[in-house]
Amino acid sequence: MEFGASFWYKSLPTPFCILFFSFTVSFTLLSLLLFILRLIKPWCNCEICRSYVTQSWSSEFDNLCDWYTHLLRKSPTGTIHIHVLSNTITANPENVEHILKTRFENYPKGKSFSAILGDLLGKGIFNVDGDSWKFQRKMASLELGSVSIRSYAFEIVSSEIQTRLIPLLSSHAAQKGNILDLQDVFRRFSFDNICRFSFGLDPGCLQLMLSISDFDKAFDLASKLSAERAMAASQLIWKLKRTLNLGTEKKLKQAIKIVDLLAEEMIKNRRKMGFSTQKDLLSRFMGTIDDDQYLRDIVISFLVAGRDTVASGLTSFFWLLAQHPEVEKAIRDESDRVMGPVSQSGLAQELSSFDQMREMYYLQAAIYESMRLYPPVQFDSKFCEEDDTLPDGTFVRKGTRVTYHPYAMGRMERIWGPDHLKFKPERWLQSGVFTPVSPFKYPVFQAGLRVCLGKEMALVAMKSVAISLIRRFDIQVVTPSQAPTFVPGLTATVRGGLPVVISERRD
Ligand code: HEM
């Protein structure tokens, strides 16, 4: 015997049945529409949403992150909500700890994020939650978390500096007055490094069909266009454009095709060269995974993770040094003390040993301080799974995008004190020893359960490059007083790069 709504409905005469069916469908569609509208609030006319939609913020601020910083500073809780994006943004360390650690399970990357970056990152570690994330994290941790990993990373970085970076910069120094884009140099350097470290392959030696610069361009474009999807007031727009293969979505598809070619080439080469005895990340994954598409996704996530972040960190570091010769001098003095001074012949020991590097607290402090003001990942979003209330009292509705904002956090007086805008490495030193702060106050490498796996490697790379260049060269930034503006992307990239003139040091 049948009970309930279906029994009742079937016992009605046919015209009523049709009427009832139409009513149900219309009601469901209307509810769905109202639900979507409530989520994206495209009509919201509050001052912040109006400014976002019309981009009127740009008349006062160079970068979106500067405008958000301004709003977050004004907010008594350090949290704001952009209705049109259904996005809660916070610069409050207690909230950050809640999202990234205490209620980690309630704040996954979520399906919307996966959709936005899905075409580029697929099922790579950056773009997944749950079991797939756990599996990749465990595998990658074996590689990146091992005790010997820092010295292994150090070896690769040192050889890259000695055999490529220094010769390249020396040849530029020889052509006096020649302008060089240091950001571009750092991106190429980091790309070589991350490939050697993660895949055991040197892009300089790969038998590629495409030159690296083709790949670079395609990779940049794909990252930029993917990030722009996240900034759209409604996801429906880019999804429609993708279905119709129009405009930026068409360009994104073409760029991803080129990126895919390189990844395929890398996997093919690794197979040809053998992977069973290799220690690199790709070989480890190849031992367990047969699916080339999955391997491609893993490869791309690590490229995104390792290339642009280190290059971005180094670019802002050298831009800040150009305005703070006293910091550069303090780094030189420290390195002279630890490594010995530059000899009479002008030849300096360019590369420090791994142990020497660990003794250079001021250098470490300067790098942390530089990323406080210019974090390579300026903001990062999660999605709220179930209704929740943040420690500062902000209610978060299920389905809301929740963003913690390292860029704004580095510029909050309530976190860093009255000199928060000053580039001051000393704030990281206690009795001359580097002393870190809570990662929830400084989530530059994220924090909690998904904390960056490449942090130590990144720091080793940045310190090695910094010390080698500072000891050997004088680097003049062409426009030191021009504040950086950033190209939208997954990591902070300075529009126009970092043009510099390089000369060999004489003192
Ligand atoms: C200065 C350099 C770097 C910074 C500032 C940085 C920052 C970050 C941030 C903010 C995240 C979280 C991103 C998210 O969940 O959306 C992250 C995750 C990650 N990073 Fe880094 N990163 C750096 C360098 C590296 C390097 C060199 C590697 C690899 C060799 C790496 C590997 C990873 C991986 C695998 C994850 C994903 C962790 C997970 O989801 O469990 N990172 N990093």
Tell me the C-alpha distance between 200 and 285, whole Å: 13
pLDDT at 283: 81
Question: Distances in Å between the alpha carbon of 50 and those of 39, 56, 70, 503?
Answer: 17, 8, 16, 49
Q: How far is the CA of 309 from the centre of ligand 1 (A)?
A: 8
Nearest CA to ligand 1 atom 35: 453
pLDDT at 208: 43
User: Given the structure tokens 């010390």, which residue do they identify?
Assistant: 467
Crossing angle of helices 212-231 and 110-121, rounded to 10°: 160
Q: How far is the CA of 276 from the centre of ligand 1 (A)?
A: 26
pLDDT at 217: 79
Q: What is the pLDDT of residues 361-396, one digit of tens each?
A: 999 999 999 999 999 999 999 999 999 999 999 999
**Mean of the per-residue pLDDT values of the chain:** 85
pLDDT at 456: 87
Please write down the HEC assignment for all residues of 121-151: HCCCHHHCCHHHHHHHHHHHHHHHCCCCHHH
pLDDT at 262: 80
Q: What is the rounded average pLDDT of the residues 332-359?
A: 75
pLDDT at 11: 47
pLDDT at 69: 98
Strand runs (DSSP E) across 173-214, as ranges? 179-181
Neighbouring residues of 502: CB distance < 8 A, sequence distance ≥ 6: 169, 172, 173, 178, 180, 473, 474, 475, 476
Tell me the C-alpha distance between 331 and 365, whole Å: 10
41: exposed, middle or buried (C-beta count within 10 Å: 0-12, 13-18, 19+)? Answer: middle
Nearest CA to ligand 1 atom 27: 306
Residue 4 has pLDDT above 50, yes or no: no
pLDDT at 176: 82
Q: What is the pLDDT of residues 212-255, one digit of tens each?
A: 667 777 888 898 898 888 777 677 888 989 999 999 999 999 99
Please write down the HEC assignment for all residues of 367-418: HHHHHHHCCCCCCEEEECCCCEECCCCCEECCCCEEEECHHHHCCCHHHHCC
Nearest CA to ligand 1 atom 1: 310
Neighbouring residues of 346: CB distance < 8 A, sequence distance ≥ 6: 504, 505, 506
Q: What is the rounded average pLDDT of the residues 407-428?
A: 98
pLDDT at 41: 53
% of the chain surpassing 90 pLDDT:
52
CA-based max dimension of the chain: 104
Q: How far is the CA of 268 from the centre of ligand 1 (A)?
A: 26
Q: What is the rounded average pLDDT of the residues 49-60?
A: 92
**Is residue 12 very low, low, confident or very high in pLDDT (cuts 50, 70, 90)?**
very low
pLDDT at 192: 84
Residue 98 has pLDDT above 90, yes or no: yes
The answer to whether 273 and 202 have CB atoms below 8 angstroms apart is no
Alpha carbon distance, N-terminus to C-terminus of the chain: 97
Q: What CATH architecture does domain 107-375+410-504 belong to?
A: Orthogonal Bundle (1.10)
Residue 294 has pLDDT above 80, yes or no: yes
pLDDT at 107: 98
Q: Domain residue spans in the chain?
A: 107-375+410-504
Q: Which of 297, 407, 452, 464 to mutate to test the pocket of ligand 1 (most atoms within 8 A of CB)?
A: 452
Q: What is the pLDDT of residues 442-492, one digit of tens each?
A: 999 999 999 999 998 899 899 999 999 999 999 999 988 888 899 877 789
| Residue 452 annotated in ligand binding | yes
One-letter amino acid for residue 500 of the chain: V
CB atoms within 10 A of CB 473: 19
**Range of 56-60, 173-177, 209-213 with top mean pLDDT:** 56-60
pLDDT at 34: 53
**Is residue 25 very low, low, confident or very high in pLDDT (cuts 50, 70, 90)?**
low
Q: How far is the CA of 159 from the centre of ligand 1 (A)?
A: 23
Q: How far is the CA of 453 from the centre of ligand 1 (A)?
A: 6
**Is residue 350 very low, low, confident or very high in pLDDT (cuts 50, 70, 90)?**
low
Pocket of ligand 1 (CB under 6 A): 125-126, 137, 140, 194, 302, 305-306, 309-310, 313, 376-377, 380, 444-446, 450, 452-454, 457-458
The answer to whether 302 and 198 have CB atoms below 8 angstroms apart is yes
Q: What is the pLDDT of residues 305-341, one digit of tens each?
A: 887 899 999 999 999 999 999 999 999 999 999 988 8
The answer to whether 60 and 67 have CB atoms below 8 angstroms apart is yes
Quote the radius of gyration of the chain (alpha carbons, Å): 25
Q: What is the rounded average pLDDT of the residues 270-289?
A: 78
pLDDT at 210: 53
Nearest CA to ligand 1 atom 43: 452
**Eight-state DSSP code of residue 342:** P
Nearest CA to ligand 1 atom 20: 452
Q: Which of 107, 309, 409 to mutate to test the pocket of ligand 1 (most atoms within 8 A of CB)?
A: 309
**How many residues in the chain?**
507
**Is residue 13 very low, low, confident or very high in pLDDT (cuts 50, 70, 90)?**
low
Tell me the C-alpha distance between 7 and 374, whole Å: 64
Question: Distances in Å between the alpha carbon of 380 and those of 277, 284, 291, 392, 445?
Answer: 36, 28, 29, 19, 10
